[in-house]
Amino acid sequence: MMTNISPNLAIGIDIGGTNSEYGIVNHRGEILIKGKIRTDTYNTVEPYINELYENLMPIIDDYRKVGNVLGIGVGAPNANYYKGIIEYAPNLRWNGVVPLAQLITQKFGLPCTLTNDANAAALGEMIYGAAKGFRDFIMVTLGTGMGSALVCNRQLVYGQDGYAGELGHTTIIRGGRKHWKTDILGSLESYVSATGVMLTAKEMLQQSNEYSSLREYDDKLINSRLVYECAMKGDKIAKEVYRFTGQILGEALANFVMVTSPEAIVLFGGVIKAGELFLAPAREHMEKNLLPLYKNKVKIILSELNEADAAILGASTLVWELPYVTNV
Amino acid sequence: MMTNISPNLAIGIDIGGTNSEYGIVNHRGEILIKGKIRTDTYNTVEPYINELYENLMPIIDDYRKVGNVLGIGVGAPNANYYKGIIEYAPNLRWNGVVPLAQLITQKFGLPCTLTNDANAAALGEMIYGAAKGFRDFIMVTLGTGMGSALVCNRQLVYGQDGYAGELGHTTIIRGGRKHWKTDILGSLESYVSATGVMLTAKEMLQQSNEYSSLREYDDKLINSRLVYECAMKGDKIAKEVYRFTGQILGEALANFVMVTSPEAIVLFGGVIKAGELFLAPAREHMEKNLLPLYKNKVKIILSELNEADAAILGASTLVWELPYVTNV
């Protein structure tokens, strides 16, 4: 007896502030084909969906010859898993509430689920990356901002409204630095994101008269990457910026570890490129602030996926959990 | 056709530092009979188990005439759900690691599961109390110490090792008050437990020369209850102690809300008897420190169960989830 074995396929889309990347993914987590369009050239969502359709639909049609395309999973900033909407995303030009899942389903004729970008990355790591096999972990993305997601008992923690896991907005230094957007004082994001690294560097330069190669640059050119480069050349202040950043992250991780008791913290994003400069103090101060019960149990590990792939893969995994898929 | 309808029954035991209370509970959460023995008169666990057996077994035998006694659920300090053990509980006189579930099963011939006391209280509230119907909530017990438990998606969060949910040991004031036991600086428990209230009162009395009725008492007599009584009589410093305690709790709750996005925080224990003195500033400072996304969504509610019942009921619910019970 011959059986027609058509592999199931899922679409993953990662919507970022500048670009949107998409891919067709099989059950093994292999991205069979990838592509991208701009996100930031559209003031409203409808022409964006049209552009996405014109680029992606021909590929979907191609792959339908060899497999079953089951649906579309999307990772996007401020996306709500429960409602299928994007709400007031500060990094997107579409204003207000965007019913993205519904718009995509209507246009493509395929079921669509979305989740926020940090959750998508956590799913990608859990199923295909550094967190493979972990039941409990915390994902932290340190880019321009800080994203984060909690996985407990192999499930993403969504909370009452889909907005759980905003670790970056918790207060780490009471009465500390005012956040440029939220006005919260001393929030974690304001210290450990790339923006935080830049602000710490500027503060440290102002507060001391010590020589630093960073002083040779115009104030506007100082960013987390330049601080890293100077630190690698031995600049004392630049090194101290990353040491301090790592310490603050470590202290915060100790708190989160005592909340969810994860096996690992998976780190991701530009800031972690500073490597041990930043990771050594993070580990040290995490351990230092833990109760003995938790010490030397929690791994700090780095993402194994490249950034674009992690988000596409993670978003695609949403498709395997679509309710109807369980009946396939 | 006649059917012999025997109700299923569960035993719940709440092991505290001083007393252990037990009860036989039916599926509706009605405690059919209660009893207690001392915990603190036994230096080792074996004679304690014997005493428990002599008191509880006759009752079990009685109830076996009318129902199926399915098993024993235990809530205890430092209890580990995964391993069925109590590990180094500072408030119990039994040293080291106590394989309690195994000892009880051997003695009683009934399956036994345990969880820590805060988790048991959370289960009690979720199934029979103030958190009935909630999918996501945080339980906080403010007694001599601070206990806490997280429920996400109607499941207790246990973490990799069963020790998740130790919110009291997270740092709320960086470089703050040194904890009397853990040496952690500025941990939440050191401010918002009854012990924390007492320490804050002593600090405030030392740091000012203002009149306070608290000054009429010997230093050793100052505790959270006395501070409450003085506050209710209008004492300014005593009121400020509870206002400050509420503020610190509120700031911490804002952090936890942004981590797990719960529908409610359920408060329990002696400190909350101070009522609005403490709850009003807690609510105010929680809201003040939340991102707009979370504001006015999270209820702070008080336990609806009396303390002893909550723990017995919560412990008894573990029995309904025993693996074999699903086959009954």
Tokens of B230: 């003085």
Q: Is residue B277 part of a domain?
A: yes
The predicted-structure confidence for A126-141, as pLDDT tens digits, reads as follows 999 999 999 999 999 9
- A254 interaction partners in chain B (CB closer than 8 Å): 170-171
Please check whether residue A65 lies inside any domain of the structure: yes
Which residue from A152, A163, A260 is facing B293, i.e. has the nearest CB? A163
Q: Which residue has the higher pLDDT, B326 or A226?
A: A226
- Please compute the mean of the pLDDT values over residues B111-137 and round it to a whole number: 93
Interface residues of chain A, partner chain B, Cβ below 8 Å: 87, 135-136, 150, 152-153, 155, 157-167, 169-174, 182, 184, 251, 254-256, 258-263, 289, 291, 293-294, 297-298
Residue A151 shares a structural domain with residue A288:
yes
On whether both B115 and B154 belong to a single domain, the answer is no
Q: pLDDT band at residue A280, thresholds of 50, 70 and 90?
A: very high
Among residues A154, A153, A73, which one has the least CA distance to residue A117?
A: A73
Q: Which residues are bridge partners to B38 per DSSP?
A: B19
Residue B189 lies in a domain: yes
- Give the tens place of pLDDT for each residue, B210-230: 999 999 999 999 999 999 999
Contact A261 B161 (CB under 8 A): yes
Q: What is the gyration radius of the CA atoms in chain A, in angstroms?
A: 21
pLDDT 10s digits, B156-190: 999 999 999 999 999 999 999 999 999 999 999 99
Q: Are residues A184 and A219 in the same domain?
A: yes
Nearest CA in chain A to B175: A173
How close A179 gets to chain B, by Cα (Å)? 11
Yes or no, beta carbons of B135 and A162 under 8 Å apart? no
Span A146-154, average pLDDT: 95
Q: What pLDDT is recorded for position A138? A: 98
Based on the domain organization, do B170 and B227 belong to the same domain? yes
CA dist A26 and A34 (Å) reads 12
Give me the domain span that covers residue A316: 8-123+308-327
Answer yes or no: are the C-beta atoms of A16 and A93 closer than 8 Å: no
Inter-chain touch A170–B261, beta carbons under 8 Å: no
B13 plus B103 within the same structural domain: yes
Which amino acid is present at B2? M
**Distance from chain centroid for Cα A125:** 11
- pLDDT band at residue B307 using 50, 70 and 90 as cut-offs: confident
Which pLDDT belongs to residue A325?
45
Q: Share the mean pLDDT of chain A.
A: 93
- The pLDDT-based confidence of A328 (bands split at 50, 70, 90) is very low
Who's near A250: CB < 8 A, 6+ residues apart?
A281, A282, A283, A284, A285, A286, A287, A288, A289
Judge if A155 and A260 occupy the same domain: yes
Interface of B with A (CB under 8 A): 87, 135-136, 150, 152-153, 155, 157-167, 169-174, 182, 184, 251, 254-256, 258-263, 289, 291, 293-294, 297-298
Interface probe, candidates A87, A156, A169, chain B, greatest B C-beta count within 10 A: A169
Lowest mean pLDDT among A2-11, A161-170, A301-310: A2-11
Are A285 and A152 part of one and the same domain? yes
B71, two tokens: 């098993």
Q: B128 in a domain, yes or no?
A: no
Backbone angles phi and psi of A269, in degrees to 5: 105, 170
HEC letters along chain A: CCCCCCCEEEEEEEECCCEEEEEEEECCCCEEEEEEEECCCCCCHHHHHHHHHHHHHHHHHHHCCCCEEEEEEEEECCEECCCCEEECCCCCCCCCEECHHHHHHHHHCCCEEEEEHHHHHHHHHHHHCCCCCCCCEEEEEECCCEEEEEEECCEECCCCCCCCCCHHHCECCCCCCECCCCCCECECHHHHCHHHHHHHHHHHHHHCCCCCHHHHCCHHHCCHHHHHHHHHCCCHHHHHHHHHHHHHHHHHHHHHHHHHCCCEEEEECHHHHHCHHHHHHHHHHHHHCCCHHHCCCCEEEECCCCHHHHHHHHHHHHHHCCHHHHHC
CA distance A9 to A65: 11
Query: CATH number of the domain that B220 lies in?
Result: 3.30.420.40
pLDDT band, very low/low/confident/very high, at B17 (cuts 50, 70, 90): confident
Q: Is B22 helix (H, G, I), strand (E, B) or coil?
A: strand
* Model ipTM value: 0.91
Task: Inform me whether the pLDDT recorded for A120 exceeds 90.
Answer: yes
CB atoms within 10 A of CB B4: 4
Taking the C-alpha atoms of residue B109 and residue B227, their distance in angstroms, rounded to an integer, is 48
Is A93 within a domain? yes
For residues A293 and A149, membership in a common domain is answered with: yes
Alpha carbon B220 to its chain centroid, in Å, reads: 26
pLDDT exceeding 90 applies to what percent of chain B? 86
For residue A158 the two structure tokens come to: 């969504």
pLDDT in tens, B26-83: 989 999 999 999 999 999 999 999 999 999 999 999 999 999 999 999 999 889 999 9
Residue B194 is predicted with a pLDDT of 96
Residue A1 in domain: no
Verify that B226 and B201 share a domain, yes or no.
yes
Q: Which residue in this structure is represented by tokens 């890293």? A: A228
Does residue B143 sit in the same domain as residue B261? yes
Sequence-separated (6 or more) residues with CB below 8 Å from residue B271 = B142, B143, B192, B193, B194, B197, B224, B245, B278
* Number of domains, chain A: 2
Same domain, yes or no, for B216 and B277?
yes
Looking at the fold, whether B167 and B184 belong to one and the same domain comes out as yes
The single residue listed with the structure tokens 């503020």 is: B247
**Minimal CA–CA distance to A149: which of A310, A272, A281, A28?**
A310
Express as a percent the part of chain A with pLDDT over 70: 97
Query: Across the interface, which of A136, A160, A167 has its CB nearest the CB of B136?
Result: A160
